[in-house]
Amino acid sequence: MKEKDLRHLKRVELLDMLIEQGRLVDAQAEEIKKLKEEREELNRKLEDRRISLEKAGSIAEASLGIAKVFAAAEEAAKIYLENLREKSGSEIPAGQALEDAMKEST
């Protein structure tokens, strides 16, 4: 509304306009508050997701490291069994050689 039109309004009409604008401002303030709360919640969820992804990466790295340890242990066991076979001079099955080695060590 133009200023000229506002001058011709009665006080009651002006007060009604002010009250309506106040309601609109209150409604917008409430909406802003809700949006801020929603943003904070989304930020928390995002941070939780980042932490989960970091942990997943750590777990994957740990499992890869463990897999390497098991592979090295398996290779060492194979070499150990081969050495046992060579020392005994016979073709003992791997399971039997392992059992014999276990008996000797106890």
What is the spatial distance between Cα 100 and Cα 79, in angstroms, rounded to a whole number? 15
The predicted pLDDT at position 84 comes to 77
Judge contact between 97 and 77, C-beta under 8 A. no
What is the spatial distance between Cα 41 and Cα 50, in angstroms, rounded to a whole number? 14
Judge contact between 72 and 85, C-beta under 8 A. no
Q: What single letter denotes the amino acid at residue 32? A: I
The predicted pLDDT at position 23 comes to 96
The predicted pLDDT at position 104 comes to 66
- As averages over each run of 10 residues, the pLDDT of the chain (106 residues) reads 76 88 95 96 90 78 85 87 76 62 62
**What are the extents of the domains in the chain?**
3-105
Instruction: Count the alpha carbons within 13 Å of 14 in the hemisphere toward its beta carbon.
Output: 8
Consecutive H or E run containing 37: helix 11-88
What is the spatial distance between Cα 93 and Cα 31, in angstroms, rounded to a whole number? 77
The predicted pLDDT at position 96 comes to 66
The predicted pLDDT at position 32 comes to 96
What is the spatial distance between Cα 101 and Cα 87, in angstroms, rounded to a whole number? 12
The predicted pLDDT at position 105 comes to 58
